Structure 1
């Protein structure tokens, strides 16, 4: 065959290279973890259904999965106020369940958002100036050790039963964790790194922006992640009084009314939302501080 003919001949398809063993192992591990979690969830639901179907526990204390699902659906739809009555009501307590969840998220966003602004600022000041740290740290640890129910009554006296007291409670729940994490991050900055940039002629501002801030950012994000989780554990306490709309207030009110299916539905929604928020913060952390763990 001539050279021209060889050039005009169609190219021979080459075999696609096989996937690397490391990639195959990662895919298998991911599939194994996902499958294990699905099987664990299925086993839990099956056991829950079996216990309630056998009547081992009264429905007042542990309703069936179907009853919880029915309460969840009813809380998100218009439904008759009572069997055989034509009058329809909206969700629960005049709001859909997602509206209760949104109201709680707005309160947490305001309280934790303020803590995210104030906490790192105070934490950097305490970390960079030792005398300030010695003065404020005992009070900060005292506040961190207090349970939210210990001072919710005082906040209601100061700010009333509206959203202001709730936002303050969530702020106080999140603020210590973020501040302490920031202080720890500043103190953990290697002294050799600071001395190295100073020897190259960097001033105090450059040391702060190019060494201290990047080194402390992972700790700040860890503190924010912990603070958001703690704020979610505080949401029911924050909404004990005048907490409607609010997912925590709905969970508390439905419990006092012995509406156990709705209480469990609210608990599940609170837990799933907390997991999603934690995953979101973790993802934001990977984008914001990609150097974490690579030093």
Structure 2
């Protein structure tokens, strides 16, 4: 008696149900973005406390976290009839510095975008201005701050100008590079459809260059922040950089660290906001 072999239908991988993920793995994936930064901060504070307690350096050089926290409370409140630091609260110092950065970096970013578009589209403009922009990009802020004081005085003008000059080159370079890298076929296709020069700039060059330009904006804001203390070296009070400089003159290390931490934390927040703006404006970046 013969038996007919049974034919098995091939199994379609799409019909196989996925293996259930372990619940703990899903929970860890959700918590990891918050747990890891908090863990690194906790580790940093522990190492800082151990270093301060070791006695390798005096508390004047390396104050413990508790003294820095006490200094933070002092400069943020009114204590013993003294309001904040030098009569100004920490948040007010920071707000004045942020206003200077907003004005200075805003002017530098706007000028950088305009010059970047011009240099990316007009060859002789790029040949004329690119060496000067590179020259500015390589100069440290302190190299020309004294000259700005001679020209503009000691009030707000040299501070805002310094921040604008510091923020200008990153945006100009990134925009120029992005515009120059736009495929010629896109420009020729737009012109073949009857687009004017302004239409090409608005509808082709600007959208294509926008991702790199936003990266340049983030770099420009970072450069402006790194130049903040230099901008407030002279007549910088009130201002967070001026507070840091004044406290350093009196070896008040806890207040210096409070100012540095305030600058860093506010810089992180602003960079995060710029990153969210970039994701909203150019959501296709990294996906195409």
Q: TM-score, normalised by structure 1?
A: 0.87
Distance 2:107 2:23 in 1: 43
Is 1:107 aligned to 2:81, yes or no? no
Shift of 1:57: 2.1
Aligned to 1:191: 184
Aligned to 1:240: 233
Distance 1:89 1:237 in 2: 27
Distance 1:264 1:121 in 2: 38
Structure 1: runs of 5 or more not aligned: 1-17, 81-87
Distance 1:53 1:64 in 2: 7
- CA RMSD of superposed structures (Å): 2.1
Structure 1 pair 153/288, CA: closer, same or farther in 2 (3 Å)?
same
Contact 2:109-2:220 at 8 Å conserved across structures: no
Aligned to 2:38: 38
Q: Which moved more, 1:50-59 or 1:220-229?
A: 50-59
Shift of 1:192: 1.8
Structure 2: runs of 5 or more not aligned: 1-17
Aligned to 1:76: 76
Distance 2:149 2:26 in 1: 52
Q: Where do residues 1-295 of structure 1 align in structure 2 (5 Å cutoff)? A: 28-80=28-80, 88-295=81-288
Q: TM-score, normalised by structure 2?
A: 0.89
Distance 2:21 2:212 in 1: 35
Distance 2:249 2:178 in 1: 44
Distance 2:169 2:28 in 1: 41
Distance 2:27 2:180 in 1: 40
Shift of 1:199: 3.0
Count of aligned positions: 271
Q: Which moved more, 1:199-208 or 1:278-287?
A: 199-208
